Structures are given as structure tokens and as C-alpha cells.
Structure 1
Amino acid sequence: MITTSLTRLAAAAGGAALALSAAGVAAADPAQDPAVSTTCSYSQVVAAMNAQSPETAAQFNATPMAQTFLQDFLASPPPQREQMLQQAQGVPEAAQFVNLVGPIAKTCNKY
């Protein structure tokens, strides 16, 4: 059960990261989901998060696992991003973050 706990912890931390890049996890077409299709870099997402949601940014900056998850997420191709997002949605601890900050994926390219 250690693996399950670590997976849940990783997904929860990743959920925080995804919240910073996700704008509509319930999009009908995953290709239309800004989190899946974003072209923003890690530094752009973090800059947008710091500007738009300082409290969430503080949580994110204090969670190395979330930072790693976001880096991996942004480095992944869209189909893998979709899977990662779905996994994070299945973790209650991550859901609060996934739904927290929608506009960041739509505006991160300005940073």
C-alpha cells in the first residue's frame, strides 16, 4: 500500500501543479482543454501563477513534488497530459487544486 499512498500523494501534488495550468478539466474535447493543449513553458506557468494566484503559488513553491509534476506534465505530449490530468482528477486531495485556477492556461503565454 506504500505505492498507492505515494501515487495519491504525487497526484495530489500534481493536482496543485495542474491547477496552475488547467482551465477546464471537464472540457468535452480534451484537445480543447487549455491544460492539455498549452504551449506555455514551465517558467511562464509559474510566472502566471505567481501573478494571478499568489496563495496557490506559495503552496506550489513549497511542494517540490508539484513542481516536478508540472515540469513533467508540460514536457509530455497532449495524450499523456490528458491521462495525467484524469489521474489527478481522481484524487480528492488534488481536485481542490485542479478546479482552483482556470484562467492561467489561457493567459500564461503573456508571461
Structure 2
Amino acid sequence: MRVTTKLTVCFGGLLLAAGAGAGIASAEPDVEAIVNSPCNYSQVVAALKAQDPAAASQLLGNPIANGYLQQLVAAPPDGRRGLIAQLQKYPQLAAYTGTINATAATCSQY
């Protein structure tokens, strides 16, 4: 998998579980929190920077991953569900569960 694809998948995964208590590794994670998240792009980025500066740097330095983030955050609930369904096909996202949960827990505070 190309690096840009990995970053896109990684960050999409971060957003996928924002607000979800369940990790990506579970069979059916609760995605309603991200689907209905009130967090905007700036809040998600600020939370990610606080939780994992290295991941934030990679994301912000990658136009594809950053664009995916903006698309996901800007999408209405049904659009988010579709984007999330695409991301759930990548088991390698399980490695980012800690960062995902930390970002989810704090994005509304930014």
C-alpha cells in the first residue's frame, strides 16, 4: 500500500472512531458518534495535534489525507456513513485505536 494511501486510511480511521468508545478492532464499532459529531475540521486537527503531534504532522503534510479529513468532516451524516464503510475494510487501522479514542475524547473541547 502506498504511503499516501496509508495516511489517508489512517486519518480516516482516526475520524471514523472520533467519539466512539469502541475501537476499530471490534467487529462492529459504534460509528454514530462520528456520524453525528459536532466537531469541525479545526477541532479535530487541534485534538489530534494535542494527542499525537507526529500523526498530525503527517496528516497535515499530506494533501490526500488532509483532503479526506476535510471531506469526512464536511459530509452530512449519510455521507459520513458511506466514507466510514469504506474505511472499515482496512484492518491495519486497529493500530491507531489509542490515538483515535484520545482524539475523539477531546475534539469538542477545541
Instruction: State TM-score, norm by structure 1.
Output: 0.71
**Contact 1:47–1:108 (Cα < 8 Å) also in 2:** yes
**Contact 2:13–2:87 (Cα < 8 Å) also in 1:** no
Identity of aligned residues (%): 32
Deviation at 1:39, TM superposition (A): 0.8
**Which residue in the other structure is 1:18 paired with?**
12
**Which residue in the other structure is 1:79 paired with?**
78
AA of the residue aligned to 1:19: G
AA of the residue aligned to 1:102: N
**Contact 1:19–1:101 (Cα < 8 Å) also in 2:** yes
2:52 matched to 1:53? yes
1:90–1:19 CA distance, 2 compared to 1 (3 A): closer
Deviation at 1:92, TM superposition (A): 4.9
Partner Cα separation in structure 2 for residue 98 and residue 52 of structure 1: 12
How many matched pairs?
100
Q: Which structure 2 residue ranges, 5 or more long, are not aligned?
A: none
Alpha-carbon displacement from aligned partner over 1:45-72 (angstroms, at most 9, x marks no partner): 0000000111211221221111100111
Cα RMSD over matched residues?
2.6
**Contact 1:16–1:97 (Cα < 8 Å) also in 2:** no
Instruction: State TM-score, norm by structure 2.
Output: 0.72
Q: How does 1:57-68 map to 2 (within 5 A)?
A: 57-68=56-67
**Which residue in the other structure is 1:38 paired with?**
37
Partner Cα separation in structure 2 for residue 41 and residue 105 of structure 1: 12
